[in-house]
Structure 1
């Protein structure tokens, strides 16, 4: 729930202080909040009645910091990279997140949660902080802030195409109005709606629910492997195909790639739904115990190999320069709201619809995402800031 106000505040903070400064502030805070959770396992904290307070306060800090970082990092990657690298670099950030999930699943097979809370930040967040430390500030943010000479120096460090540098700096420097004023323009509003739609429909593919409740899903299915190790297998496929998507997105048309991924996730969710429907009807599904694992692996191939990275890439690429930070922040806000509702209502939905109904809902969500992508989301591969601006003004 706390991710929602964090996402709302991301755009003003981004424009006020700059993305690099915010990453350097937020990553240590996030790291310490995770490591502080392990204190709750100490007997002295339980005796003093502080264990629950430590856990809740740590989760509040984490939710707020993660919401800000998600909004900041993806926009920063877009603004610092040239046309040919944007998809690949955004996909690599998705790969890093997938690796974090995989390590959580893996270490949880051997260690208690308080040990995992110490291990994961050291392996993931500290390297991210070092990366931010050696990275330059966003040149587009510098240009918007009126620091055009600094912007040009950074452009020359991180971009190779001189014509692209001149055009991007010119477009960024022309942004003078306030964020709220810019949103009142029809072309900007349409772009923000498209970005928000991408995020909302992404959540209705069911990814967050599957990632959070994967062990519960395997326990309900009664698969042959232990639920924990089944989760590790799914996490391995997720991480591997996140890496694959980084190579594909270097050249792949965004819309086609996203539609193909949605078909994969839609079919996979439908297959899992069939298994739980047969189980619900009291039929002997012992010979089909492999089906949930197969379905979830297929789902992760579609999501991590396409939908995940392409969602983050397209959601930022469809936004014109003036409203990118606020548009992306609004998109993440919508994502946070839908994610909260789905994860919070999962148990109730399971009682009302059954697990088969939930997975069939996600299957429908995937196919609807594909249809909306075909008819409403523009192609953004190798489109410059000016191209995106012209598209929304003309359509």
Structure 2
């Protein structure tokens, strides 16, 4: 639920340091996103260590389950997480989510049985899925409109920082040390988050207007005049109560729904999670110019930098063109990787051993400035407020489901076809995605257009007729 701002609202803001309180709140909440990143990429550094011990060896199939249980655990919690946040509050829900994010590291890192590893990864996945819903909800509700775009990128930036951190733990051969290091950030969140106030939007929804007033002054500054913003929050709360959309309302937005879900499908089937989860192993198999640990860290650094600059680039670029370029380059990178592994056993390619690292890094970079963030922006720009949350939930379920399938099946693909054909398959999917973007995705150059203008472009007069017959649209 976004806070609405205006020129008038900007003039009520006093105190040059009050935005730092908003930065602090967002940074603290998105430490959960950092933890998600560590769970996603932990397998890259940790899985090779299991077979170095006699007590707990892991087969390829077991490794694929260990990797894929995080996205599998996230699937069933996506919708309940939003309901729990509405009932108990964003702050309490985030703190409760952080408890398993912290404890699961000790379950996984110190497990004496593979069953406990499976359980820990699944529960951590459920907590990650809940955090991916509630944390962005909270951060969007505590910041003012003028900095929402900037702070909105911090969630994804924290995920990439967590991925890099887990790659960096490859310096140690101890699963215990890796688990302890990865548990530090959720521990910091557990300690710090009780000092962060509740979302003012949620307080207004609960009829606690006086508390919401105090929270707004906390986040905006003691001299901030809260009347206008409180009135708008009350209006939004009333609209949310009166026009809650179910999944069936998406039938009135079929083209938008298929466009958004289509982009998510190509996003996940591009192979992004297979690369993140199995980075170290892929570099080991490639005999890359650098060690697999250093190569993984370089890729992690590239991902963080690309995510940091993605907001500026996306805001200034033609979104449809950026999607097309992103998919084209990603397909090219996959075909290059496929060719490298194809000729690896039959030719001497030591002179071009830099190709896997270069292709991997370019793929990650272009993904994070195109196909990675833009599908999520589609939800915010193509759907009206009353169905936006439902559309977000459907998109998130699709995202986690496909992430699970790709991560689980990647090992089977490699066993069946080899790395070369597996990468070629991912490349073909991205190539098909360029056709999808060219033919079906609407022009998004003017991202600030009114939602109705974009809908009329997709549906013509049909959307107006639907609104007249169904006021909930």
TM-score, structure 1 as length reference = 0.81
Shift of 1:112: 1.4
Which of 293, 299, 304 matches 1:228?
A: 293
Query: Is the counterpart of residue 388 in structure 1 residue 459 in structure 2?
Result: no
Does the C-alpha gap of structure 1 residues 323 and 15 become closer, same or farther in structure 2, counting only changes over 3 Å?
A: farther
Give the aligned partner of residue 244 of structure 1: 309
CA positional deviation for 1:322 = 2.0
Larger RCO (CA under 8 A, 6+ residues apart): 1
Instruction: Report the Cα offset of residue 27 of structure 1.
Output: 1.3
More moved, 293-302 vs 107-116: 107-116
Deviates more, 1:225-234 or 1:193-202: 193-202
* Residue 291 of structure 1, CA deviation: 0.7
1:254-281 deviation line (CA, Å, top 9, x unaligned): 444444433332222222122123336x
Match of residue 117 from structure 2: 55
Q: CA deviation at 1:30?
A: 0.9
What SS is found at the alignment partner of 2:367?
A: helix
Matched, 1:16 2:87: yes
Equivalenced residues, count: 382
Change (3 A) 1:297 1:80: same
- Does residue 28 of structure 1 match 2:90? no
Structure 1's 251 and 155: CA in aligned 2 closer, same or farther, altered over 3 A? farther
| Alignment deviations for residues 109-129 of structure 1 (CA, whole Å, 9 cap, x no partner) | 22412211111221x324445
Among 320, 325, 328, the alignment partner of 1:263 is: 328
Q: Residue 121 in 1 paired to residue 161 in 2?
A: no
Q: Is the 8 A contact 1:23 1:129 kept in 2?
A: no
CA contact (8 A) 1:199 1:315 kept: no
Distance 1:19 1:361, change over 3 A: farther
Distance 1:327 1:36, change over 3 A: same
Larger radius of gyration: 2
Q: Provide the rounded CA distance (Å) in 1 between the counterparts of 2:210 and 2:456.
A: 29
Structure 1 match to 2:74: 3
- In 2, distance between residues paired with 1:194 and 1:128? 36
Single out whichever of 220-229 and 359-368 deviates more from structure 2.
359-368
Task: Give 1:89 shift.
Answer: 2.5
Unaligned ranges ≥5, structure 1: 41-45
Structure 1 position 224, deviation (Å): 2.9
Aligned to 2:265: 200
Task: Answer yes or no: is 1:289 the counterpart of 2:350.
Answer: no
State how 1:1-395 maps to structure 2 within 5 Å. Answer: 1-40=72-111, 46=112, 51-122=113-184, 124-129=185-190, 132-142=193-203, 157=219, 170-177=235-242, 179=244, 181=246, 183-184=248-249, 186-187=251-252, 191-249=256-314, 251-252=316-317, 254-279=319-344, 282-373=346-437, 375-376=440-441, 379=444, 383=448, 387-388=450-451, 391-392=454-455, 395=459
Which structure 2 residue ranges, 5 or more long, are not aligned? 1-71, 460-473
Q: CA deviation at 1:211?
A: 0.2
TM-score after normalising by structure 2: 0.69
